[in-house]
Amino acid sequence: MNGADVDDSRYVGIIADGGTDRPIILQLVKSLFGGSSYWQEVFLDQSVVDYMDSFRRAASKLGTYALCDAASRELRRGIIAVLYAAFGDMQRAAARPLCDRDLIVINTDAEWVLNSQDHYYEQDWAVLVTKVFHSAIEEFYHKMRHGHQWEYLPFVCPLVLFPSTDILVAAARTQEGEPFQYHGVKAPEIKRRLYGVGNLYYLGEEGLKEMALDFITPAACGAIYKHVPESRMFLRSLSWNRIEQPNV
């Protein structure tokens, strides 16, 4: 962007499955951006959870996981529709044209369970989900090319987690000396182990901060990188574009 822009802030929009997922993802973004005061968050109302659920049922029933099959195409169309809506809402929140300084994170829980780190690279469904999200983002940019110069489109970064967002907290807690014992564990059981409840809404704002958000720090990003393979491209993409170095 050039010097003619009035608002030099960087806007960060978070798309996620639920109300507690958004602050967890935002906390990870804060850790990667080094806590800069030059950006503002926007919790977007959109979600891909219904599209993801439909995809998982359809793909599991057929037992085929191909990028161009019917289930994948439907998921891709859903992601694009969500991005269109999120783009408009975020631009209204920013009260200025969005630009390449801005970021939209599109997160969802895969719900599928990984039995090990290597499992992520060995399972067709794990590889496919990530590819579908990337191809949807590419098509979104393709469709937007007529109405927007590329400098006036935000950076869209996907983060699909297996089985859920709570895996970030589980990995971050290893910085406190806790072992990572969450491979092969379903999402509800991860919540019960981490928080003592099956639904994070029961924690309240302070409970969520104390039991989840406070663990996700710049220092914890290394542990997340180590234990959560599906997070690595996200971590590298955002840390490369960091505004300022965090105090580790």
pLDDT tens digits, one per residue of 112-136: 999 999 999 999 999 999 999 999 9
pLDDT score at 119: 95
| Residue 246 domain flag | no
| Residue 37 domain flag | yes
Tell me the three-class secondary structure of 143-181, residue by residue. HHCCCCCHHHCCEEEEEEECCCCHHHHHHHHHHHCCCCC
Read off the tokens for 169.
């907290």
How many domains are contained in the chain? 1
| Residue 177 domain flag | yes
pLDDT score at 1: 43
| Residue 72 domain flag | yes
On the question of pLDDT at 30 being above 80, the answer is yes
Percent of the chain with pLDDT over 90: 73
On the question of pLDDT at 42 being above 60, the answer is yes
| Mean pLDDT for all residues in the chain | 90
CA 1 distance to own-chain centroid: 25
On the question of pLDDT at 145 being above 70, the answer is yes
- What element of type H or E holds 55? helix 49-62
What domain range includes position 121?
10-240
On the question of pLDDT at 103 being above 50, the answer is yes
| Residue 245 domain flag | no
- Mean pLDDT in residue range 30-35: 79
Handedness of CA 158, 16, 42, 240 (dihedral sign): negative
pLDDT score at 38: 75
- Grouping H, G, I as helix, E, B as strand and the rest as coil, residue 241 is coil
| Residue 5 domain flag | no
| Residue 3 domain flag | no
Find out whether 31 and 218 touch, Cβ atoms under 8 Å.
Answer: yes
| Residue 2 domain flag | no
